[in-house]
Amino acid sequence: MLRTVLPMSKSLSPALSSTLNGSCQAIAPQRIIRAEQSLSQCADLIQPYGQRPLVVGGEHSLAVLQPYLTEVSGLELSVAHYGDDCSEASLKTLGGAVTRHQADVIVGVGGGKALDAAKLLAHRHHCPVITIPTSAATCAAWTALSNVYSDAGAFQYDVGLPRCPDLLILDYEVIQTAPQRTLMAGIGDALAKWYEASVSSGHSQETLTIAAVQQARVLRDILLQKSATAIAQPGGDEWRQVVDATVLMAGVVGGLGGAQCRTVAAHAVHNGLTHLSPTRSSLHGEKVAYGILVQLRLEELLQNNHLATQSRHQLLKFYREIGLPMTLADLGMEDVSLKHLQTAAQVACQPDSDIHHLPFTVTPEQLMAAMVSTTSPMADSGVIPGSPSAEVCP
């Protein structure tokens, strides 16, 4: 029985949030429902949070959810399209829809951008928010964070939210209807948790940060072990475990780590790439997956870090196996000019960029060198083929 009546939670007031300061951390959604066909119960699940839901999503996702909501009595439902991106312009349009409908709960349905828009909209209008992911491409259904893009798809900034969603509904049947590519992207995005958290927070003495970094390592191991089978057998046990890893466990790492567990170069590279014109030819997690290789390459080139070389080659083998992008060409950016590549590198190296959480300084020129050499062989990385350290890697 899925139905539970919950007291409606309220956002912390800004004054209280600032009084609590460092001790205020949003770790997890208040409630998570995960099951086959959980969407068939979604109207009952939404009702405790409000009677006038505004459902925010993309065209495809809204079509998926609509049949589950049409026959429900007691809910005054309205639907709003978020547009191409979670941008200030689309948030303004959605804000108008909230006011017109007098919405008392926001339901986000779709991928990362739809869910980010729904979460930020709910925060700004002081409504509870329910997230319904329709793919396993990100952990946006879990996190207290929204990324804001320009209308052209260029990353602008992220907004930390005071709390995670009130309810997360994960329906495995719905996730299974998403293109296989979205799961692969989710695997890339979730993998980055380890490569970024271990660099930004690997030396932390804070209990919850240590827990987050260790969970990120376990998450990486689960993905390396189970992804190939999961992709080969959609709907199977491993597939479900990998979906849980990308949608839920990646969110756990972000929640436990909080602001102490920052993204580093992989996401900075992603942010830079979104400023190039074919940005929508690849998904968030695909760019991040490529960004992990760039980050490791930077550690090789600027620190002569042989462990990074080994990690990169371990990942290249894994990427080949499951089909994650290894180069700019794999991201559909083979025709990017030097000038545009420079723009992406400059954006990624801006003073407030997370790339500066690396323990060394990176210039746009050094970043460009790393971006075009992600598949560089072992011999080029200062590791002599045939040496004991080279044999560790495939």
Q: Pick the closer one to Zn ion by CB: 104 or 189.
A: 189
Q: How far is the CB of 188 from Zn ion (least distance, A)?
A: 9
Could you tell me which residues come within 8 angstroms of residue 251 by beta carbon, excluding any fewer than 6 positions away? 28, 139, 141, 142, 143, 164
Q: Pick the closer one to Zn ion by CB: 131 or 310.
A: 131
Q: How far is the CB of 280 from Zn ion (least distance, A)?
A: 16
Q: Distances in Å between the alpha carbon of 146 and those of 76, 104, 186?
A: 27, 20, 17
Q: How far is the CB of 299 from Zn ion (least distance, A)?
A: 20
Q: How far is the CB of 51 from Zn ion (least distance, A)?
A: 34
Q: Pick the closer one to Zn ion by CB: 171 or 189.
A: 189
Q: How far is the CB of 267 from Zn ion (least distance, A)?
A: 6
Q: Pick the closer one to Zn ion by CB: 189 or 300.
A: 189
Q: Pick the closer one to Zn ion by CB: 192 or 383.
A: 192
Q: How far is the CB of 273 from Zn ion (least distance, A)?
A: 12
Q: How far is the CB of 136 from Zn ion (least distance, A)?
A: 13
Rounded distance between C-alpha atoms, residue 306 and residue 93, angstroms:
50
Q: How far is the CB of 145 from Zn ion (least distance, A)?
A: 9
- CB atoms under 10 Å from CB of 88, counted, come to 14
Rounded distance between C-alpha atoms, residue 127 and residue 106, angstroms:
7
Q: Distances in Å between the alpha carbon of 6 and those of 25, 45, 115, 145, 322?
A: 21, 10, 22, 23, 41
Q: How far is the CB of 112 from Zn ion (least distance, A)?
A: 8
Q: Pick the closer one to Zn ion by CB: 171 or 354.
A: 354
Q: Pick the closer one to Zn ion by CB: 48 or 153.
A: 153
Q: Pick the closer one to Zn ion by CB: 189 or 354.
A: 189
From 172, 124, 174, select the one nearest 146 (Cα to Cα): 124
Helices (H), the chain: 14-20, 42-46, 59-70, 88-101, 112-124, 172-176, 180-201, 207-232, 237-244, 250-257, 265-273, 284-303, 306-322, 338-348, 364-371, 388-391
Q: At what angle do helices 284-303 and 364-371 cross, to 10 degrees?
A: 110
Rounded distance between C-alpha atoms, residue 280 and residue 298, angstroms:
25
Q: Pick the closer one to Zn ion by CB: 98 or 212.
A: 212
From 109, 124, 245, select the one nearest 177 (Cα to Cα): 109
From 319, 302, 211, select the one nearest 265 (Cα to Cα): 302
Rounded distance between C-alpha atoms, residue 159 and residue 162, angstroms:
10
Rounded distance between C-alpha atoms, residue 200 and residue 66, angstroms:
42
Residues near Zn ion (CB under 5 A): 189
Q: Pick the closer one to Zn ion by CB: 77 or 140.
A: 140
Q: Pick the closer one to Zn ion by CB: 127 or 243.
A: 243
Q: How far is the CB of 50 from Zn ion (least distance, A)?
A: 29
From edge to edge, which strands make up the β-sheet containing 31-35? 31-35, 167-171, 129-133, 105-110, 53-57, 78-81
Question: For Zn ion, which residue has the nearest CB?
Answer: 189
Q: How far is the CB of 249 from Zn ion (least distance, A)?
A: 14
Rounded distance between C-alpha atoms, residue 70 and residue 39, angstroms:
12
Rounded distance between C-alpha atoms, residue 112 and residue 100, angstroms:
25
Write the DSSP symbol of residue 86.
S
